[in-house]
Amino acid sequence: MKIDPIHQFNIEPLFTLGHIGNHTIAFTNSSLYMLVAVAIISILMLASGSQLVPGRLQSVAEISYEFVASTIRSTAGTEGMKFFPLVFSLFMFLCVSNLVGVIPYTFTISSHLIVTVALALLVFFTVLIYGVAKNGLKFFKIFVPHGVPGYILPLVMFIEVLSFFLRPVSHSVRLFANMLAGHIALKVFAGFVAMLGFSLGAIGWVGGVLPLALTISLYALEILVAFLQAYVFAILTCIYLNDAIHPGH
């Protein structure tokens, strides 16, 4: 019995789309699950009707809408609603793809650093470009906190600048590492069950109960993490956008 907890992260090209330079651009399993996520979100949001008294699907769509809207309002204020489509897209894309990824035999898009980095950089540059375009040089007041004594200010500014530019790193690695580690742990513990059963016979079947119980509880945790990391990504996006909208707070 072979256990390969890494196999689930393999990118399998399904067909080739074209070439950019010497890179082959392929429609991969990752692309397929992105398509699935977009399709699920579209169906949820568009096929759910607009009744006065909502049905189940419409309730889910409206709860998602209200949830993201209230998250933005509470962290970035009413002006943050400008970025509602962006935050909503990010949250729903990650939440749906993470939840789909928890299903066995599926692929998790956000278990690849390149994807989370791309999304985190999208947020980073949105904050930077919007912040400078809206506030001009006043945007850089976010690096100068209020009430810091002059002699310590250079150090604080250095730390603030550093942390600002490290934001995309923490923003992307948090999501990537959570999804990756969770899926590996799940696979390893699930693998133990099969491994014990195949190698030790009856004793192994009895011994497999413990890793099975762990797998079940980890699975529940992973469902929570799948939602939570999407939420964390979205709320951090809101907090970063708040800096662009209200610098100097």
Partner 1 sequence: MAESHGGAKAPATDAHTEADGGHHAGAFPPFESSTFASQLVSLAIFFVLLYVIVSKLALPKVGGAIEARQNKIEGDLAEAQTLKDQSEAALKAYEGELASARSRAQAIGNESRDKANAQAEAERKTLEDQLAAKLAEAEKTIASTRATAMSNVRGIAADAAGTIVQQLTGVVPDTASVNAAVDASLKG
Residues at the contact surface with partner 1, assessed by CB under 8 A: 2-7, 9-13, 17, 20, 23-28, 30-31, 34-35, 37-38, 41-42, 45-46, 48, 50-52, 54, 58, 61-62, 65-66, 84-86, 88-89, 92-93, 109, 111-115, 118-119, 122, 176, 180, 188, 191, 195
| Smaller CB separation from partner 1, 65 or 219 | 65
Residue 74's φ and ψ, nearest 5 degrees, are -75, -25
Helix (H, G, I), strand (E, B) or coil at 235: helix
Q: 27: helix, coil or strand? A: strand
Minimum CB distance to partner 1, residue 151 (Å): 43
Shortest Å, Cβ 32 to partner 1: 9
Nearer to partner 1, 52 or 202 (CB): 52
- Nearest-angstrom CA–CA distance, 128 and 240: 9
**Residue number, 16 or 163, with CB nearest to partner 1:** 16
- Alpha-carbon distance of 13 to 30, in angstroms, equals 9
| Phi–psi pair at 12, nearest 5 degrees | -110, 115
* CA angle 136–140–141, rounded 5-degree value: 110
Beta strands, E only, the chain? 13-20, 23-28
Cβ 5 to partner 1 shortest distance, Å: 7
Measured from the CB atom, is 41 or 236 closer to partner 1?
41
* Secondary structure letter of residue 20 according to DSSP: E
Neighbour-count burial of 241, counting CB atoms closer than 10 A to its CB (0-12 exposed, 13-18 middle, 19+ buried): buried
CB of 223 to partner 1, least distance (A): 22
* Least distance from partner 1 to the Cβ atom of residue 27, Å: 7
For residues 4 and 146, which CB has a smaller minimum distance to partner 1 in the complex? 4
Contact indicator for 49, 58 with CB cutoff of 8 Å: yes
Nearest to partner 1 of 41, 225 (CB atom): 41
Least CB distance to partner 1 at residue 22 (A):
10
Residue with tokens 């976010």: 142
Quote the least distance from Cβ 179 to partner 1, whole Å. Answer: 10
Give the dihedral sign, CA 52/53/55/57: positive
Task: Specify the residue, 8 or 242, whose C-beta has the smaller distance to partner 1.
Answer: 8
